[in-house]
Amino acid sequence: MHLAIIPQLIGPLQALWAAVAQLVPYIAGLVAGALGLGVWRHRIKGLGLARGRRRFAVLAALCIAAGAVAMIVVSRRRAGPGRATTAAPAAAQRTVTPQCGVWDVFRGNSGRTGNADGLRGPRRARILWSYTDEDNALTDFSSSPAVSGGRLFVGSASANVFRRDGAVRCLDITTGARLWHVPTEQQVFSSPCVAAGRVYVGEGLHQDAGSALRCLDARTGAVLWVFPTASHVESSPAVRDGRVYFGAGDDGLYCADAKTGEKVWNVDGYHVDAGPVVARGLVFVGSGYGTKSFLAVDARDGRIAWKRTIPASAWGHPAVHSNAVYFAVSNVSLNQRNATPSGVVFRVDADSGQERWRVSLPDGISAAIAVDSGQVFVACWDRHLYCLAETDGELLWKTGLDAKLYGAPALDDECVFQVTMAGRIVCLDRASGKTVWALDVDESGDTRILASPALAGGRLYVGTSRNQVLCIGEGRATATSQ
């Protein structure tokens, strides 16, 4: 069995603990009834009830009644499937309505900048609203959000002791209110893409089989079609020219008609978990297991235009900028360490695959590389964000952070926004790597952030492992989510 690059988002012990927590009130009711038997024994004697079976029957009935009352209380406390908590308005807060309409590839564009409209992100940090799923406290939003047309689309993973499943949600980008919710049969790590009024997202984690890519109506969430796969779809899809491209684990790389879901072609023999990027008539993606290769595939017919044998697994999502492709390989995964971990960043020609430069780093790289305006940003597991020169890979700066980096950075013209596995979000100056602001989303330190943040309308959006989708904007800084 292969070891996954993405961990099982909801572990069995977490699910068991959640179930125990839900049963506590029931158990408490029964215990309370048992502890009260001495009092009730005296009252039962006053009723003149005979000893023996009648007394036992009354005591049992009282215990059951206490438990039933506890169940009713718990059931009435259960809220709807989601809630948005909004922070009080701040005088300095900007109000900008995003006008973006397309997020047709992971991180919104081929450079993987995570910026929907080119506007600047917040220069001061405050949590403006926080969405939570109140129906399942163990919901994990490690799927990276997509932002399009004033809406945010995000996948999730949930679990209990009986099953593991997921969902795709649509939230209002301004208020965090849930607009629709579509359950999925398996957990979702794949990040949605949005094009032509449709949302495309995969389901299934590395241990799953019999997974699928789903196409949903962006306005209503109605399921338009489902493309079944034999393996899992952790990959984040890309849409271009009426076709959708996505990896499906051991199935390799698929191309399907974006409108009908009909299969167009399939490149098998490669294990693909990364999200492809389409440019210059080619589909670029790397493989993680088996024959480790980086591929350039003809978008029309699935023919391999060129491929490079790579020294390790390509977990991260490649980027394309200025007729060059940027990708990274790692000799480690999240579930398998190495005594001498390493990662390598490559720049190759998009048309030929010829190498232009490579840079070695001291640990794994699973996030998408972000490229813009002469700078290449790489989030590494060694707790550093690296800024390299686009032309030759020269190190311009590196900044150490508080934990490993799995999410990709988001960029505006002056700043880079990065998340960490310790639940911190930082804003760094692009020229120097110096910290502009830092925000801890959870003072307990139990929150992980695997998802990559999205910029839109001057605000930053990100999901966390602890049942949160956050909107961060300007205003007085705070370290506490609501």
176 burial type by CB count under 10 A (0-12 exposed, 13-18 middle, 19+ buried): buried
List the strands of the sheet with 384-389, edge to edge.
370-372, 375-379, 384-389, 395-400
Taking Cα atoms as reference points, which of 215, 162, 168, 161 lies closest to residue 187? Answer: 168
Distance CA 354, CA 337 (A): 30
Quick check: 56 pLDDT over 70? no
Residue 284 neighbours by CB under 8 Å, 6+ apart: 276, 277, 278, 294, 295, 296, 297, 318, 320, 325, 327, 350
Beta bridge partners of 169: 154, 181
Q: Which residue has the tokens 């000799």?
A: 331
Confidence (pLDDT) at 382: 95
Structure tokens at 149: 């047309």
Distance CA 406, CA 8 (A): 15
Distance CA 402, CA 439 (A): 12
Please state the separation of Cα 7 from the chain's center in Å: 12
pTM exceeds 0.85 for this model: no
In order of their start, the domains of the chain are 12-77 (no CATH), 83-473 (2.130.10.10)
Residue 103 neighbours by CB under 8 Å, 6+ apart: 116, 146, 147, 148, 153, 192, 193, 194, 195
CB 320 within 8 A of CB 288: no
Distance CA 255, CA 238 (A): 10
Distance CA 371, CA 14 (A): 37
Average pLDDT, the chain: 84
Beta bridge partners of 223: 216
Q: How far is CA 246 from CA 66, 104, 115, 142, 340, in A?
A: 53, 12, 21, 18, 32
Question: What is the separation, in whole angstroms, between the first and last Cα of the chain?
Answer: 41
Quick check: 190 pLDDT over 80? yes
pLDDT tens-place string over residues 246-283: 999 999 999 999 999 999 999 999 999 999 999 999 99
Length of the chain: 482
The Cα angle at residue 386 between residues 385 and 392, in degrees rounded to 5: 165
pLDDT tens-place string over residues 338-396: 778 889 999 999 999 999 999 999 999 999 999 999 999 999 999 999 999 999 999 99
The Cα angle at residue 6 between residues 4 and 205, in degrees rounded to 5: 80
Query: 108-111: long-range contacts (C-beta < 8 A, 24 or more apart)?
Result: 108/146, 108/147, 108/454, 110/277, 110/278, 110/279, 110/319, 110/320, 110/321, 111/319, 111/320, 111/321, 111/370, 111/371, 111/372
Q: In this predicted structure, which of 36-45, 56-65, 308-317, 456-465 has the lowest mean pLDDT?
A: 36-45
Report the 10 Å Cβ neighbour count for 139: 26
Rounded average pLDDT over 12-38: 46
Quick check: 242 pLDDT over 80? yes
Confidence (pLDDT) at 340: 82
Residue 320 neighbours by CB under 8 Å, 6+ apart: 110, 111, 277, 279, 280, 284, 326, 350
Distance CA 422, CA 383 (A): 11
Residue 234 phi/psi, 5° resolution?
-75, -25
Longest CA–CA span in the chain (Å) reads 96
pLDDT tens-place string over residues 383-419: 999 999 999 999 999 999 999 999 999 999 999 999 9
Report the 10 Å Cβ neighbour count for 135: 15
pLDDT tens-place string over residues 86-120: 654 443 333 344 445 689 999 999 999 999 999 99
pLDDT tens-place string over residues 414-453: 999 999 999 999 999 999 999 999 999 987 778 999 999 9
Confidence of residue 15 (pLDDT cuts 50, 70, 90): low
